[in-house]
């Protein structure tokens, strides 16, 4: 029997951010990771997934790996359409999240004032979503409040682990460290201590580009070996 958990990815906005819609098809509970842009397409994906599983989704969380504009740009519009979904980010990036308009000006993009953060993610905090559980892994460096979301999913086919790594770890690369509050050596240390120590089979879903696995990056990422 297949897992009851759905992971629907769409690539949004000019910076090509990976936005994930995660759904427990048994309970209809859902979360978005990094609703960075293209709110209308994300909302369409929610509708499509509702008809796929044959029940309305309860969008409970808008989870953000960090506060850069390409990861938070559609948050306000999604919140307006799904008021029960809680806006969550690590407090270390709240100041970056709150300067969305200013971030946009630097890139010639216009944004509304962001909606207030409603939940501050803490290191090792656990969030339950249907049959899956997330653990927050604070990995500062790309930004002070960068956090990866580790998902443990137990199903009839066993336990599966995956990690939403934001802009901290990419396939064969790592995040840039020239923006607000970034710290390169700290980011590398965090990847080594808090990501590469996970099971090698853990699927890694970065904020941009293709997915990979912890074990693959541990042995072949040129920034880490």
Interface residues with Zn ion (CB under 5 A) are 68, 70, 167, 207
Torsional class of 175: left (φ above 0), alpha (ψ -120 to 50), beta (otherwise): beta
State the Cα angle at 164 between 7 and 135, rounded to 5°: 100
Beta carbon of residue 66, minimum distance to Zn ion (angstroms, whole number): 5
Contact 177, 184 (CB under 8 A): yes
Report the run of H or E that residue 160 belongs to, with start and end: strand 158-166
Identify which of 183, 11, 37 has the alpha carbon closest to the alpha carbon of residue 103.
Answer: 37
Q: Which is nearer to Zn ion, 153 or 167 (CB)?
A: 167
Q: Which is nearer to Zn ion, 20 or 68 (CB)?
A: 68
Phi, psi of 192 (to 5 degrees): -65, -40
Beta carbon of residue 117, minimum distance to Zn ion (angstroms, whole number): 17
Beta carbon of residue 76, minimum distance to Zn ion (angstroms, whole number): 18
Beta carbon of residue 61, minimum distance to Zn ion (angstroms, whole number): 19
Q: Which is nearer to Zn ion, 16 or 122 (CB)?
A: 16
Helices (H) and strands (E) in the chain, counts: 7, 14
User: Rounded distance, CA 71 to CA 155, Å?
Assistant: 29
Report the run of H or E that residue 220 belongs to, with start and end: helix 214-220
Q: Which is nearer to Zn ion, 19 or 57 (CB)?
A: 19
Q: Which is nearer to Zn ion, 16 or 197 (CB)?
A: 16
Beta carbon of residue 157, minimum distance to Zn ion (angstroms, whole number): 32
147 is written with which tokens?
């956090």
Beta carbon of residue 69, minimum distance to Zn ion (angstroms, whole number): 8
Contact 134, 126 (CB under 8 A): yes
Q: Which is nearer to Zn ion, 181 or 215 (CB)?
A: 181
Q: Which is nearer to Zn ion, 130 or 207 (CB)?
A: 207
User: Rounded distance, CA 34 to CA 63, Å?
Assistant: 6
* Residues in Cβ contact with 28 at an 8 Å cutoff, skipping those fewer than 6 apart: 53, 55, 56, 57, 58, 130
Beta carbon of residue 128, minimum distance to Zn ion (angstroms, whole number): 27
């Amino acid at each position: 029997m297949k897992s009851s958990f759905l992971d629907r990815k769409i690539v949004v906005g000019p910076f090509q951010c990976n936005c994930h819609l995660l759904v427990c098809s048994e309970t209809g509970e859902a979360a978005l990771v990094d609703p960075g842009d293209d709110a209308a397409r994300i909302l369409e994906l929610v509708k499509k997934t509702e008809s796929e599983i044959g029940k309305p989704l309860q969008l409970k969380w808008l989870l953000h790996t960090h506060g850069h504009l390409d990861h938070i740009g559609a948050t306000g519009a999604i919140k307006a359409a799904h008021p029960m979904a809680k806006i969550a980010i690590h407090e270390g990036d709240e100041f970056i999240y709150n300067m969305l308009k200013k971030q946009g000006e630097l890139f010639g993009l216009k944004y509304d004032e962001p909606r207030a953060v409603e939940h501050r993610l803490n290191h090792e905090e656990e969030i339950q979503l249907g049959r899956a559980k997330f653990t927050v892994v604070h990995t500062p460096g790309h930004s002070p409040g960068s956090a990866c979301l580790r998902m443990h999913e137990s199903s009839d086919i066993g336990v599966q682990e995956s990690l939403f790594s934001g802009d901290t770890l990419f396939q064969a690369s790592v995040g840039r460290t020239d923006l607000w509050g970034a710290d390169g050596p700290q980011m590398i240390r965090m990847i080594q201590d808090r990501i590469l120590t996970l099971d090698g089979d853990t699927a890694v879903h970065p904020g941009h580009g293709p997915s990979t696995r912890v074990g693959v990056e541990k042995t072949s990422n040129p920034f880490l070996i």
